[in-house]
Structure 1
Amino acid sequence: MTSATPSLRLARFPVTALGAAIAASLTLSACSSLEINPYTEEEVRQRAISDQAKMYTAQEPIAHPITFYEAAARALKYNLDYRLKLMESALASDLRDVSRHELLPQLVADAGYSDRSNDSGGTSIGIEDGEESLRPSTSEERYRTTAGLELSWSLLDFGLAYYENQQKADQMLMAEERRRKVAQNVLRDVRNAYWRALAAQQLIPQLNVLLARTQVALDASREAQRQGLLPRQELLAYQRALLDSTSLLTARRQDLELAQSELAALMSLPPGTRLELADMPEPELPPEVRDIERLEQIALEQRPEIMEEWYRQRVNQTDLEAAKLRLWPNITVSAGLEYDSNDYLYNNDWAQSGVNVSLNLLRLLQYPDLNDAQQTQSDVDELRRTALSMAVLTQVRVGALRYHLALEELKYADESLEVDEDLLDYSRAAASTSIGSELEVIRAQSRYLLSQYSREAAYSRAQAAWGRLFNSVGVDVMPDTIEDHSVQALASALESSMNIHETQGIIASHPSGNADGSYGAPLKRVEPQTPATTTTPASQPAVQGGGNAQ
């Protein structure tokens, strides 16, 4: 067959030159794109606006006062940290699905076009005399197309893909454990903030009234001091008590006001949203847990951190097993179809198959070191998990002790509130027209409100202590399925799940407990009673004693 004509060759050269020019232009463009390109101020501003809009998008409006379980449901549904862990868990699952395809053989299809500026060919010479034995010849066209379809399977690649798939599966389980941990932490934080925020909603208006009355009483006592109505020492003592009470009330009001902001942040509410909590009777606190060994056993089985560490140990071991696999021979089996448009070939299309075995002998020297590394890694992972388990047991024991102390504190706060209420009633009954008796009534009212404040704070701390104990056990309260994705449906599912765990789960009936599984009488709420307003003449000072509200 004759080669291409000279005119056809010359016609192809501009095409080749044009391709080279395009390639050079693309290379120069790529080099210029490596320059520093910071975001503009407008881009930063638009990004900030977009991020802020995404924070609060597609949230159900608040149509009624929020209960504790609705607050927990909103926090789990809209909390950005929890949503991030959900996405990470979904991503780990998707990556595992992707890695499963690496187990399949490779099926590669290729096609190409080649162009030479001259003919490919050669000649041959004699080995003994060095004389040319053939005239220059070629067996390949300058311009030709190729295509192929090859199926290949590598034993080494299959083994490595298998181990990688196992690692992805364990990493998916680790991501799920991290999601469980974030959910448990969110519920704990919501419990801690909700009851403090509810106490703030109930008590801050009364505290504001009390602070205003205290200031009026302070001004009245100073006026009485100027008029000489009472001994100076007695009036100064009254003023000192009023100032101490004002300082204490102000400090505690600040703490409760922060609780509302914390709860709003946990629920991812937009700034400026009016947060109104449901003013319902306080639920009875769970009874004190005395079977600590049982709680410790549950914690060792359920805590997400321990499970995540256990899965991480498998990931590390799988990584070393994959390193060992690389030491073995690689067997590759291939089969395929090929096509070449070269007219000088006797057969332009053909099928081929083969088997290839390869082994890097020097890699075998790594085997003893890999064995040592695997054993050391296993020991390190075991020790890390054991240390974490010890920390978990400590958290359970400390959590149980804190809950016990919180219940005692709440009991004393209830008793103090009852005593101060009786003192207030006695002061009213014994009141006369004298300035001193009227001042004593004001002091009793102030002390009663401080005790009420202390009681609500003690209840909030008891709820927080129970939340920490519940969280230390690691029980998952998220239901497997819910009717729909609304806040109300999730709140109902959470309420049912948490009630089951609290009454039938970690605090189920104990051998030494009562018939209902409790120890002693459950704590009841002492309903706060707003004292009747006592008319105090503006000219008479009102002095309050500083009660202990801790």
Structure 2
Amino acid sequence: MRYWSIKAPGTAMLALALAACSGLKPTPYTEQETIDRAKADQVKMYQDQEPVTGPITFYEAAARALKYNLDYRLKLMESALASNLRDVSSYEMLPRLVASAGHLGRNNDSGGTSIGIEDRQVSLRASTSEERYRYIGSLGLSWSTLDFSIAYYRTAQKADQIMMAEERRRKVAQNVLQDVRNAYWRALGAQRLMPQVDGLLARTNEALRQAREAQDKGLLPRQEILAYQRALLDSVSLLTIRRQDLEFSQAELRALMSLPANAPMQLVDIPDPALPMLGPDIAQLEQLALVRRPEIMEEWYRKRVNERDIDIAKAQLWPNVSLNVGRNYDSNAFLYNNYWNATGIDVSINLLKLLSLPSLNAAQASQRETDDSRRVALSMAVLTQVRVGALRYQLTLNEVQFANESLRVDTNLLDYARAAKKTTFGSELEVIRAEGRFLLSRYQREAAFANAEAAWGRLYNSVGLDVFPTAIDSYDIKTLAAEIQRVTNEMEQSQLLRSTTGGGAGASLAKP
């Protein structure tokens, strides 16, 4: 009866705790909580940003994208997290210093009797040397060679993972700059062409309205007026599609710079810079890519991380030496010494685990071959990207030259159509057609130049070149933009990337 009277309350508490756990149900967020969370996220997207105070240059756009891009910020946080985890792992190499204290109690006395080994007779009456209720405490220092070895390899792994996170940060930064280079020049082309496209659309719609009025009044033959309307509708359709492309490019650039959709954005409209020309030795670019590409460096660090796993498994095979030193206290009044020091050394080994050593050696060799093969395969893909990137860039230079020539011809045709303009519908249609062809050539020329800049950015990316400082957060926008421009100019004027005019590719655009 005494047994159940003691255990019943504990059993009841356990049953109550289990019932409470089983009664937990999923609790979805309320609609208001979701709305508040969305508003808070929107505030975080654009907080702590330098305001836009004037027209934005390409290098300022790149600086804003690097400083405020959310993907890049995420990679920075991952690098910081990896560094913190390394610091935590390093503490595991220290000895363990454990302090403990407690209160012990029981409802009866601890003790016993003694019997003779030979005659099995009771030689002492029942006695105890322990109080029912007592306090204990200890302060112990322990150190294990196994724990130290595992902590050492884990810390080394965390250090390599920091470097891997840093390489991923570099890759994200390079991708951001490539996207900015692609979007900026398209957005600048949109800024140049949108007013002219809108003006021509308005004139085309007005001409279409007049054509319908002429059709209703019977001023011209029905077939002629319908053909005229058909030509105008084709022009409106083509201009509308081009206008959408221009708007998308501006929206993409805003997103890359983390600007709100309604924030003003004016780009610096200066003559297009001269497109760089590649140096003659592509092999040097390939060699540079094998040295600088973040993906290859990340794989190389990953190889060391994988090797540490095998080292940890091997460390568990060898003898483990444990050293223990401690100071103890027991309030038991029957003890002769309530305070005492304890020391100990222990050596242990799992002999059966030694049988796995050959398998571990084989696994380590196989892991090394796999890591090397993966890195070599990646290196081959990198070399292909460099070769294709160089070829693509050379082709885009030819496209820019062809677009410049097409723009020159359509400009002359527009001038001729305006000079020959009469008061008839047909002459007005010819002017609108000429202006449409001219704007289409303008668009194609802007797109060709943007494609050339994008191809140049992809070549940068394929080589793994960094044109930004390491501590981006410590710079303001102006300083960061100037640093990016300085490093970019130095690279483009180097022997590998010699900056020269791309055959007229950087010529100023003609105006209507």
Which of the numbers 174, 191, 210 marks the counterpart of 1:184? 174
Per the TM alignment, residue 343 of structure 1 is displaced from its structure 2 partner at its CA by: 2.1
Gaps of 5+ in 1: 1-15, 509-516, 531-550
1:38 paired with 2:22, answer no
Corresponding residue for residue 53 of structure 1 = 43
Corresponding residue for residue 507 of structure 2 = 525
Q: Which residue identity does 1:37 align to in structure 2?
A: P
Secondary structure of the equivalent of 2:327? Answer: strand
2-structure distance, mates of 1:333, 1:23: 40
Q: Which residue identity does 1:485 align to in structure 2?
A: Y
* 8 Å contact kept, 1:414–1:526: no
Corresponding residue for residue 189 of structure 2 = 199
Which of the numbers 16, 32, 45 marks the counterpart of 1:28? 16
Which of the numbers 394, 399, 410 marks the counterpart of 1:409? 399
Larger displacement relative to structure 2 (484-493 or 72-81): 484-493
2-structure distance, mates of 1:122, 1:521: 105
1:168 paired with 2:148, answer no
1-structure distance, mates of 2:15, 2:285: 66
1-structure distance, mates of 2:128, 2:495: 86
2-structure distance, mates of 1:128, 1:345: 30
Corresponding residue for residue 328 of structure 1 = 318
Corresponding residue for residue 123 of structure 1 = 113
Q: Which residue identity does 1:188 align to in structure 2?
A: Q
Corresponding residue for residue 304 of structure 1 = 294
Corresponding residue for residue 438 of structure 2 = 448
* CA displacement, residues 249-275 of structure 1 (integer Å, 9 cap, x when unaligned): 221211111111111111222232222
Superposed counterparts of 1:421-432, under 5 Å = 421-431=411-421
Identity %: 60
Per the TM alignment, residue 293 of structure 1 is displaced from its structure 2 partner at its CA by: 1.3
Per the TM alignment, residue 382 of structure 1 is displaced from its structure 2 partner at its CA by: 1.3
Q: Which residue identity does 2:483 align to in structure 1?
A: A
* 8 Å contact kept, 2:67–2:472: no
CA gap of 1:23–1:289, structure 2 versus 1, over 3 A, is farther
| TM-score relative to the length of structure 1 | 0.85
Secondary structure of the equivalent of 1:469? Answer: helix
Superposed counterparts of 1:218-297, under 5 Å = 218-221=208-211, 238-297=228-287
CA gap of 1:467–1:344, structure 2 versus 1, over 3 A, is same
Per the TM alignment, residue 314 of structure 1 is displaced from its structure 2 partner at its CA by: 0.8
Secondary structure of the equivalent of 2:469? Answer: coil
Corresponding residue for residue 453 of structure 2 = 463
* CA displacement, residues 172-229 of structure 1 (integer Å, 9 cap, x when unaligned): 0001011111111111111111111111111111111112222333444556667787
* 8 Å contact kept, 1:286–1:522: no
Secondary structure of the equivalent of 1:145? Answer: strand
Secondary structure of the equivalent of 1:137? Answer: coil
Q: Which residue identity does 1:166 align to in structure 2?
A: A
Which of the numbers 415, 419, 423 marks the counterpart of 2:409? 419
**Number of residues paired by the alignment?**
506
Per the TM alignment, residue 345 of structure 1 is displaced from its structure 2 partner at its CA by: 1.7
Larger displacement relative to structure 2 (22-31 or 239-248): 22-31
Q: Which residue identity does 1:28 align to in structure 2?
A: L
Secondary structure of the equivalent of 1:149? Answer: strand
Secondary structure of the equivalent of 1:336? Answer: strand
Q: Which residue identity does 1:127 align to in structure 2?
A: I
CA gap of 1:228–1:275, structure 2 versus 1, over 3 A, is same
1-structure distance, mates of 2:507, 2:19: 73
* 8 Å contact kept, 1:79–1:267: yes
CA gap of 1:483–1:468, structure 2 versus 1, over 3 A, is closer
